[in-house]
C-alpha cells in the first residue's frame, strides 16, 4: 500500500507561509502577498533509506497544506487538523506579534490533538531581513525562539523564502519526523 501523509503549515497572516510552499515547489519568490486561489496544497516525495531493502530508498508521498484565510482568527478547523500527520508552526522574525501568535497556535494544536503527539517544527521566516543590517529589523532572538521550541521538544529552524534558505531542510525535517513517528 502506498502511504500518503499530510502536513499543515500554520502561523499568522503575511509571515510567508504561501511563499515557503511555493519556493519549495520550485516556483520563484514573488515578493508579494499571494492569495491562495484554487490549489491550496503542494505535493512532495520524501525519500528514506529502505529498512527492508538495504541500499534502496523508500518513497513516501506528502501533501503540504496551506491555511490561508484561517490565520486571521488564529484557529484551524478540526476537520483540517484531523487529517494532519505533521505541523509547521511559522512566524515572521521581523514581527514580534507573530511570535506571540505561536503560543496561540500551539494551544490550538494541543486542543485539537489531545492524545496524539503530532510531529511539529517551529519556523522563524524572513531571516534575510532579520539578519540584514546587523540585525536591525530582527524582533525575535534566536535564543528566545529556541527556548520555545525546547519547551515543546521540537526543532527550531530559521528560513528565508526570498533567498531560499533552509526551505528544503525544513521540509525534509518535518517529513522525516512524520515518517519515523508512524
- Residue ranges that bind ligand GDP, judged by CB under 6 A: 13-19, 31-34, 125-126, 128-129, 160-162
The one of ligand GDP, Mg ion, none whose footprint includes residue 15, by CB under 5 to 8 A per kind, is: ligand GDP
The item of ligand GDP, Mg ion, none sharing an interface with residue 137, based on CB under 5 to 8 Å by kind, is none
Nearer to ligand GDP, 31 or 55 (CB): 31
Q: Helix-strand-coil percent breakdown of the chain, rounded to 5? A: 35, 25, 40
Q: Which residue is nearest to ligand GDP (CB)?
A: 16
Q: For the residues of 71-95, what is the DSSP string, one character each? A: GGGT---HHHHHT-SEEEEEEETT-
| Cell digits of residue 132 | 540584514
Residue 173 CA to residue 36 CA, distance in Å, equals 25
Asked if residue 68 binds Mg ion (CB under 5 A), the reply is yes
Alpha-carbon distance 95 to 90, whole Å?
12
Does 94 contact Mg ion by CB under 5 A?
Answer: no
Give me the least distance between CB of 163 and Mg ion, in Å please.
19
- Cβ proximity to ligand GDP: between 57 and 100 the closer is 100
Q: Which is nearer to Mg ion, 17 or 173 (CB)?
A: 17
Number of other CB atoms surrounding residue 69 within 10 Å: 11
Q: Minimum distance between the CB of residue 129 and ligand GDP, rounded to whole angstroms?
A: 5
* Beta carbon nearer to Mg ion, 42 or 60: 42
> CA–CA separation, 159 vs 167, rounded Å?
6
Give the number of residues written for the chain.
182
125 binds, among Mg ion, ligand GDP, none (CB under 5 to 8 A by kind): ligand GDP
Which residues from 12-51 bind Mg ion, rule CB under 5 A?
17-18
C-alpha cell at 32: 508579494
Q: How far apart are the first and last CA of the chain?
A: 14
Binding site for Mg ion (CB under 5 A): 17-18, 68
Amino acid at each position: 500500500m502506498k502511504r500518503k501523509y499530510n502536513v499543515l503549515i500554520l502561523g499568522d497572516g503575511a509571515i510567508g507561509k504561501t511563499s515557503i510552499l511555493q519556493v519549495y515547489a520550485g516556483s520563484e519568490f514573488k515578493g508579494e502577498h499571494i492569495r491562495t486561489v484554487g490549489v491550496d496544497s503542494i505535493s512532495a516525495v520524501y525519500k528514506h533509506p529502505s529498512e527492508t531493502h538495504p541500499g534502496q530508498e523508500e518513497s513516501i508521498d506528502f501533501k503540504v497544506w496551506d491555511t490561508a484565510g484561517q490565520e486571521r482568527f488564529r484557529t484551524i478547523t478540526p476537520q483540517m487538523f484531523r487529517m494532519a500527520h505533521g505541523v509547521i508552526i511559522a512566524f515572521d522574525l521581523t514581527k514580534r506579534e507573530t511570535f506571540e501568535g505561536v503560543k496561540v497556535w500551539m494551544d490550538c494544536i494541543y486542543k485539537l490533538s489531545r492524545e496524539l503527539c503530532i510531529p511539529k517544527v517551529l519556523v522563524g521566516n524572513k531571516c534575510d531581513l532579520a539578519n540584514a543590517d546587523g540585525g536591525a529589523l530582527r524582533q525575535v532572538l534566536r535564543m528566545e525562539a529556541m527556548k520555545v521550541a525546547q519547551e515543546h521538544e521540537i526543532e527550531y529552524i530559521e528560513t528565508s523564502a526570498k533567498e531560499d534558505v533552509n526551505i528544503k531542510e525544513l521540509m525534509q525535517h518535518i517529513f522525516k519526523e512524520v515518517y519515523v513517528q508512524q
